[in-house]
Structure 1
């Protein structure tokens, strides 16, 4: 079959709803129940709780507030790509083993388990924050995906989502995914380009928001972990040997300012998760890497919140989806 590709898709500019009154609550309702930590001694920094296993690998906290944001982010990402968990053309009736890398709260793994009851679904993560009640075909494990993989059997589908600022060696990770797929198996990578931008110049270079996101991305890169892997996914997937590679880009407005109803809904979800996550995104990187004090960070974030809530600021960032198939026989 001819190799399919939708790389470098042009997306029309987002129309702005000038009548929108951008007033959105900072409070985000919990979508799943969080669990009490009884196994791991989670460290606390600047009032936020972080994972203990391979401490320092992941820059975001794992406390209940962050778990709620991760569940909201799941809703954002599935809504953005058309109310779907993934886009790869997989025959789930024939798919027996699925791996979800970096499962977080486990919400996506469990959704796959509910939707595909005949498949065995495994989710892994650095933190044991997944709930104890799961579909019978779902299991979780604590693991670092950048360590050697030791699975005894290959998977039919491997799913990797939202690993921005988490991975030191992306080509190695994509290679591990390839090596642990059955011939003919599929892999899908969904991730962000977290560089904020506007199409109308409303995100000024000297704004507090531009200063914040620039400092955040620079600090993440100093740790050796790419905060904007989305645009590079296609290259890594092709280099690993995948075929039938497809790449799609989705715009994520921050706020309900677009005229398009779908983008308005996506923007509302995105505003909620950004507002909920500003401290989570910032504290460890700003204080531990960039050398800021907690008070300096919180003062900047207060100004960022004010700017993002303004109906005149039309900031957005991109979400990339790349999937490909392992050849039936290695060429």
Structure 2
């Protein structure tokens, strides 16, 4: 029997429960951290302008071949940056990573960075103020944040755990300069061979669609964890889901979510992998594998106050990131031109904000532990 699966869709005061795969028993879920935290107020953040202004559609109307390079050596990162990591290519009005070009589908410009930081607050609201659920996080001495992005998770973890050494790695050196003393960032391609010292805890968030082979990454993580070390994934599942008939399969939003899958597969980095993590971790040799599912409504259609607030935030998150999530995938993976993309997104945006559409995203959190005894990953 694999590890238990948790379903958590209730409000903030509900007790999380773990149910084993055969439904044989229910136990109270342990909390991941001991400090007291407060979940963010998404409504207040939006009212105070916490999210960036919507990107003008006209900025992306250049042809697919109209691209350039932008040199960004303005001290975004704590590392000395070379031209190979900072000569960012421009495409359709958006800026992308330079290191290992084409591996990551989303831009790294200011608008996308603001969206990612806002999305971090959605995760915190989901977890009642926490940023991770792994039971080994609180005592980890060496921590790796894979695909750290803006570095917001790593910064918060380092602040909360001052005795831990935290490393954030990403293709883009876009992280801030002012950092906790126990944190450093590295511009690196984590799909290459790892040369790190071993870690107690390796963290992945929103990395579906970024990995060519999850099993290969798990092999690297397994062999770079100390015995008893933990791995944690947090990811959104594709396609979008609905439990009634308010979003038929021919609706623009549903088709958009399936086109995202189709394009990611065509580019060799499938985005519909979150539901496979539990089995993949087990097959890779990890023990105590636990899967937890949460719900992000697409807008504020639910009656439950917490889900309504999450829906409000998710509506802004997807709406403001719609171009970022579509431009590269649809142009490179589906062969669409820019005019076709923007025309299609008009109807997608309508569905996103329609409270009569009862759609939602499933958020998977999966963590597992390397066995205490020394052994090589079974897929070496």
Take 1:120 and 1:104, find their aligned partners in 2: how far apart are those partners? 18
User: CA separation of 1:123/1:296 partners in 2, compared to 1, >3 Å: closer, same or farther?
Assistant: same
Counterpart residue number, 2:96: 50
TM-score (norm 2): 0.78
Counterpart residue number, 1:20: none
Counterpart residue number, 2:274: 230
Following superposition, the deviation at residue 186 of structure 1 comes to: 1.2
Counterpart residue number, 2:4: 6
Counterpart residue number, 2:51: 29
Take 2:281 and 2:366, find their aligned partners in 1: how far apart are those partners? 8
Residues 283-294 of structure 1 mapped to structure 2, 5 A cutoff: 283-294=327-338
The DSSP-based 3-state class of the residue aligned with 1:43 is strand
Tell me, yes or no, if the aligned pair for 2:237 and 2:364 is still in contact at 8 Å: yes
- Is it true that 1:250 corresponds to 2:285 in the alignment? no
Tell me, yes or no, if the aligned pair for 1:196 and 1:316 is still in contact at 8 Å: yes
Following superposition, the deviation at residue 212 of structure 1 comes to: 1.7
Following superposition, the deviation at residue 255 of structure 1 comes to: 0.8
Counterpart residue number, 1:111: 156
Unaligned 5+ segments in structure 2 are: 12-45, 53-70, 74-80, 376-380
Following superposition, the deviation at residue 271 of structure 1 comes to: 0.9
Across the two proteins, how many residue pairs are aligned to each other? Answer: 311
- Among 124, 129, 151, which residue is 1:78 paired with? 124
User: CA separation of 1:149/1:203 partners in 2, compared to 1, >3 Å: closer, same or farther?
Assistant: same
- Is it true that 1:100 corresponds to 2:98 in the alignment? no
Counterpart residue number, 1:145: 190
User: CA separation of 1:265/1:274 partners in 2, compared to 1, >3 Å: closer, same or farther?
Assistant: same
Unaligned 5+ segments in structure 1 are: 15-23, 31-35
Following superposition, the deviation at residue 137 of structure 1 comes to: 0.6
TM-score (norm 1): 0.89
Following superposition, the deviation at residue 322 of structure 1 comes to: 0.8
Following superposition, the deviation at residue 296 of structure 1 comes to: 1.1
Following superposition, the deviation at residue 133 of structure 1 comes to: 0.8
Q: Name the stretch that deviates more: 61-70 or 211-220.
A: 211-220
Tell me, yes or no, if the aligned pair for 1:113 and 1:119 is still in contact at 8 Å: yes
Following superposition, the deviation at residue 4 of structure 1 comes to: 7.8
Take 1:205 and 1:211, find their aligned partners in 2: how far apart are those partners? 7
Following superposition, the deviation at residue 91 of structure 1 comes to: 6.1
Tell me, yes or no, if the aligned pair for 1:81 and 1:250 is still in contact at 8 Å: no
User: CA separation of 1:13/1:304 partners in 2, compared to 1, >3 Å: closer, same or farther?
Assistant: farther
Take 2:368 and 2:172, find their aligned partners in 1: how far apart are those partners? 28
Take 2:9 and 2:205, find their aligned partners in 1: how far apart are those partners? 25
- Among 373, 376, 379, which residue is 1:329 paired with? 373
